Amino acid sequence: MFGIWLMLHVDRARLAARLSEMAMVGATGRGGVHRLALSDADRQARDLLDAWCRQKGFSLEVDTVGNMFASRTGRSSEAPPLLIGSHLDSQPNAGAYDGPVGVLCALEVLESLDDLDVETRQPVQVVNWTNEEGARFRPPLLASGVFAGIYDAEFALNCRDVEGIRFGDELQRIGYAGPRQPGWPISGYIEVHIEQGTVLEATGAVVGVVTGVVGIRDLQVTVVGEDTHAGPLDMRSRRDALLGAAEMIVAANALGLEHAPDSRVTVGRIAVPSDSHSVVPGLAEFTLDLRHPESNGLDSLEKAARERFQRIAHDRNLELRFKQMFEYPPVAFDISLRDEIRSAALGLGHPALDLPSRAGHDAWNMARVAPAAMIFIPCRDGISHNEREFAEFEHIVAAADVLLNTVASVTKSR
């Protein structure tokens, strides 16, 4: 435990400058960024991080799936490093906070350790994970998944975007296909991230101590009817797949609300291949994203969705297919790291609150291989994946300070 007089502080001005410079990379002009994984904008963001790290003399390494690591040496050359960081890629036309705030707070901590002459036992590494969002290459959390041994590097390199462009080819093109095999031992992982919800805001807490991540299960739902002309056929004889899908979307939302407050049910993508104003759609495909803190909660949401959709399909003379796209089981974060984060927040005088994450994060993958934890920053109106995403600079500084003190504490000799 620190007393308040012993707490460390980051360099606010430097952090502010880096946040604004990074927000200009892939800026949409409306306060957001459009920085899809392995795009030219992603390359620019990486180049900027690289330049900052080199300036400070931190050694930089890139692994074979493009994850970037900047290291500050520790007293012991054998102790596995403590990893801190997040991601620089974004959703399409998204905010400037989701991801970069975690990478730049981590970099700020690395620099502050230098400035404050803090010696750590093990090395501390700042990481920028490739393709966290999964907006361009499915699945999300891809390259941290490779680091954690969930996927082979080959799997990631062979992923393709909607235009058929290969992850591995894009990685080569932007110059971030590194030599190092991902997956070396680490002593822990801590990630700063915006909450993307309203829990902290509603309670007035400044620092979120994340207890774990809810489980997420993603399904692809295909509704099959019959393409027909919009005019001549009697409306009662139609087998309208989009109409069926619309009823399912309404049913999915009702299902989520019935299982509030733990559940989230979302339809985020829909495709109607016939795509003509005068064709009654014979095929509609949509995604179904289920979130719940318990595995059996996911099972029960899926079961209920299948039953309701099946009833709709039956009533409308439609066929229905389900395909599971990916699943992240619920995880709990490391108790001892959570205690360290809470102590740091209290020591700094910031009101802290325990809460679960309902979004997937790279920390989820890391929790499989090392003690992991996250620090949440309040986020205005809970809006994220949107250009209007916003976090108070004071709250970002608070998270950086908490991370700095947590890192200093857990890397002390003991």
Q: Helix, strand, or coil here: 58?
A: coil
DSSP state of 31: S
Contact 203, 355 (CB under 8 A): no
Q: Write down the least CB distance from residue 353 to a copy of itself, Å.
A: 14
Given 163, 232, 296, 413, the residue binding a copy of itself (CB under 8 A)? 232
Q: Write down the least CB distance from residue 240 to a copy of itself, Å.
A: 7
Q: Write down the least CB distance from residue 314 to a copy of itself, Å.
A: 17
State yes or no: residue 226 binds a copy of itself (CB under 8 A). Answer: yes
State yes or no: residue 384 binds a copy of itself (CB under 8 A). Answer: yes
Q: Write down the least CB distance from residue 187 to a copy of itself, Å.
A: 28
- Draw the binding track, 190-209, toward a copy of itself (x: CB under 8 A; -: no contact): -----xxxxx----------
State yes or no: residue 324 binds a copy of itself (CB under 8 A). Answer: no
Taking the CA atoms of the chain, what radius of gyration do you get in angstroms?
Answer: 23
State yes or no: residue 367 binds a copy of itself (CB under 8 A). Answer: no
Pairing of strands 270-271, 215-224: unpaired
Given 6, 17, 24, 250, the residue binding a copy of itself (CB under 8 A)? 250
State yes or no: residue 142 binds a copy of itself (CB under 8 A). Answer: no
Given 85, 100, 140, 347, the residue binding a copy of itself (CB under 8 A)? 140
Given 203, 253, 295, 317, the residue binding a copy of itself (CB under 8 A)? 253
Q: Helix, strand, or coil here: 340?
A: helix
DSSP state of 136: S
29, 40, 276 from 97: Cα distances, Å: 15, 19, 38
125, 189, 249, 366 from 85: Cα distances, Å: 8, 8, 36, 11
Tell me how far apart the alpha carbons of residues 323 and 218 are, in angstroms, rounded to a whole number. Answer: 9
Contact 55, 107 (CB under 8 A): no
Number of residues that bind a copy of itself (CB under 8 A): 75
Interaction with a copy of itself in 344-363: which residues (CB under 8 A)? Answer: 357-360
Tell me how far apart the alpha carbons of residues 7 and 347 are, in angstroms, rounded to a whole number. Answer: 7
Q: Helix, strand, or coil here: 81?
A: coil
Interaction with a copy of itself in 6-35: which residues (CB under 8 A)? Answer: none
Residue in the structure block whose two tokens are 């490779």: 146
Interaction with a copy of itself in 59-118: which residues (CB under 8 A)? Answer: 91-94, 98
- Draw the binding track, 255-274, toward a copy of itself (x: CB under 8 A; -: no contact): -xx--xx-xxxxxxxx-xxx
DSSP state of 268: -
Given 204, 277, 296, 414, the residue binding a copy of itself (CB under 8 A)? 277
